[in-house]
Amino acid sequence: MTDAARSLSRRGALAAMAGAAMLPAGVAAATTASGHGGGLRELAARHGFRMGTAIHNPGLADPRYRALLAGEFSIVSPENVMKWDTVEPERGLADYTAGQLILLPTAQRYGQLVRGHNLVWHAQLPDWLIQKTWTNDQLAAMLQQHITDEVGSFRGRIYAWDVVNEPLNEDGTLRQTLWSQAIGTDYIAQALTWAHAADPGARLYVNDYNLEPLGPKSDAMYVLVQDLMKRQIPIHGVGFQGHLAIQYPYPDTLPQNLRRFAALGLDVAITEADVRMELPVTADKLATQAEYFAGMMSAYLTLPHPVSFTVWGFTDAHSWVPGVFAGQGAATLFDENLRPKPAYDAIRAVLED
Ligand code: G3I
């Protein structure tokens, strides 16, 4: 392992929080939006956790994007390039180049850890997989192979994996997917076990959306992870995606909810925070968005051992929201011209308080 790769290793990485704030020597182009040094990564490090963002690979072509990425964030998630449809578009020809050649060197240069995203999901599966009928045994074998190969190919260089993504329905029942149908409800335990075998040092997460308030979905996640822990299945963390929208009420019970998971002894991370709105943008809506982001950050700071707070992209120029929710957008901390929005200042204020 090279020195740079070793610096990405998660062993002891969170303990070395001073390193999370500092940029490696030679990164001259880092920018902080505050204009007076000390990006969000430095403020978060003072509280003992890492500030993160999803990386939208096409954005990396823009030097202003790279500068903010370096100056503001100390942990990154690939928005799409580690998903199964990207890494194995043709059966048997798995290719991790996009993750390895773009994401990891970028993260290494900027002193960032990497959250791998994701290994088991019902979406973004390759066409060759979903367009054919397989036996249950074949599906189980393919999933095991996929996890073993992908985790193995990044072994030692990924701080944490979102192993199972979005396993629950809103009412707390288990989502029926290709995987739950083929392997049974224990596919989650199996996936975690396979991932652990491929990289015993990686922190392994189950990750979901709409987990923020106390309620049937977060209750079900609580029962699920408690059961996994009792059975000594390798589970280390729960990811709260944090996709909020200002047209819906803010989840006031977030602090209590985060703390009950932390009390189980698990890592608790915010993994995909953004706050969308109905367009057009107005000053009032931006102010409400700022309150929602600040609320999530304040809730996160109530944890005894915060780990990472990740936004799902940092600029409205590359957000997934408009493509999925027609007429909605402007969900991130920076506008399309990479100017900080009130939400950015609100998060700074919470961290500086
Ligand atoms: O790469 C192709 C491109 O070749 C093609 O021309 C273009 C035409 O549509 O599509 C491109 O792929 C798109 C891909 O993003 C890369 O931009 C897919 O269509 C599009 O579906 C995909 O959307 C991603 C979405 O997951 C897929 O479900 C979003 O970028 C990504 O932000 C989003 O992320 C998810 C998390 O993984 C899990 N939690 C929810 C979150 C938001 O939906």
Ligand 1: residue whose CA is nearest its atom 32: 320
Residue 170 falls in the annotated catalytic set: no
Contact, 152 vs 196, CB < 8 A? no
Ligand 1 mean position, distance from CA 324 (Å) = 9
Q: How many CB atoms lie within 10 A of CB 320?
A: 19
Ligand 1 and 320: CB distance under 6 A? yes
Ligand 1 mean position, distance from CA 218 (Å) = 25
Ligand 1 mean position, distance from CA 143 (Å) = 21
Query: Using CA atoms, how far apart are residues 232 and 308, in angstroms rounded to an integer?
Result: 24
Ligand 1: residue whose CA is nearest its atom 25: 320
Ligand 1: residue whose CA is nearest its atom 11: 80
Please report where in the chains the tokens 């120029």 appear, as a residue: 317
Residue 272 falls in the annotated catalytic set: yes
Query: Using CA atoms, how far apart are residues 303 and 254, in angstroms rounded to an integer?
Result: 11
Ligand 1: residue whose CA is nearest its atom 27: 124
Ligand 1: residue whose CA is nearest its atom 23: 320
Per-residue pLDDT tens, the chain, 353 aa: give them: 333 333 333 434 443 444 466 666 656 556 777 665 689 999 999 999 999 999 988 889 999 999 999 999 999 999 999 999 999 999 999 999 888 878 888 899 999 999 999 999 999 999 999 999 999 999 999 999 999 999 999 999 999 999 999 999 999 999 999 999 999 999 999 999 999 999 999 999 999 999 999 999 999 999 999 999 999 999 999 999 999 999 999 999 999 999 999 999 999 999 999 999 999 999 999 999 999 999 999 999 999 999 999 999 999 999 999 999 999 999 999 999 999 999 999 999 999 99
Ligand 1 mean position, distance from CA 80 (Å) = 6
As given in the structure block, the two tokens for residue 228 are 């996994």
- What is the pTM (predicted TM-score) of this model? 0.94
SS (H, E, C) 270-291: EEEEEEEEECCCCHHHHHHHHH
Q: Which atom of ligand 1 is nearest to the CA of 313?
A: 32
Q: How many CB atoms lie within 10 A of CB 37?
A: 9
Ligand 1 and 31: CB distance under 6 A? no
CA angle, 119 then 189 then 235, to 5°:
80
Name the 3-class secondary structure at 243. strand
Marked catalytic residue, from 272, 291, 336, 352: 272
What DSSP element (H or E) covers 237?
strand 237-240
Ligand 1 mean position, distance from CA 87 (Å) = 14
Ligand 1 and 123: CB distance under 6 A? yes
